[in-house]
Amino acid sequence: MKTMSGAFDEDILRQFIESVGLYPVGSFVRLRSEKLAMVIDEDHKDHTRPVVQAFYSLVTGEQIKPQRIALARIEEQDHVVDIADLSGLDLPDSAFLREMLFLSTYKNAE
């Protein structure tokens, strides 16, 4: 939406992104590193670089140990390239996967 210059009122678009987030918490994204991750928090200074929990490698086609990544803190090393398509992957259904990832996030924070 932001790249569609003139299509949306700048102030309304900014308010929308600030309230909903560019990548809402709980959404699945694909990273440049060919990992799939779930958004677990947003970065209030850079809405394009949320905090994510990586859980799957597209390179190996396998689940990986959940890894928390604050994308805004790692500069250009990694970033979101797209919304993730989980269909066809050997993963639990989305609701169960979200629950598992949120629980692992909480467990790792203790």
**pLDDT tens sequence for the chain (110 residues):** 445 556 778 788 767 666 666 899 999 999 999 999 999 998 888 878 999 999 999 999 999 999 999 998 987 789 999 999 999 999 999 999 999 998 987 766 55
Instruction: Give the domain ranges of the chain.
Output: 23-109
Task: Name the residue among 93, 40, 31, 37 with its Cα closest to residue 63.
Answer: 37
Distance CA 72, CA 65 (A): 21
The CATH number that domain 23-109 falls under is 2.30.30
Take residue 52 and report the two structure tokens written for it. Answer: 């994510």
- Determine the pLDDT at residue 3: 54
> What residues contact 63, with CB distance under 8 A and at least 6 apart?
55, 56, 57, 91
- Determine the pLDDT at residue 2: 47
Distance CA 97, CA 110 (A): 20
Q: What end-to-end distance do the CA atoms of the chain give, in Å?
A: 38
Q: Alpha helices of the chain — where are they, by DSSP H?
A: 10-20, 94-109
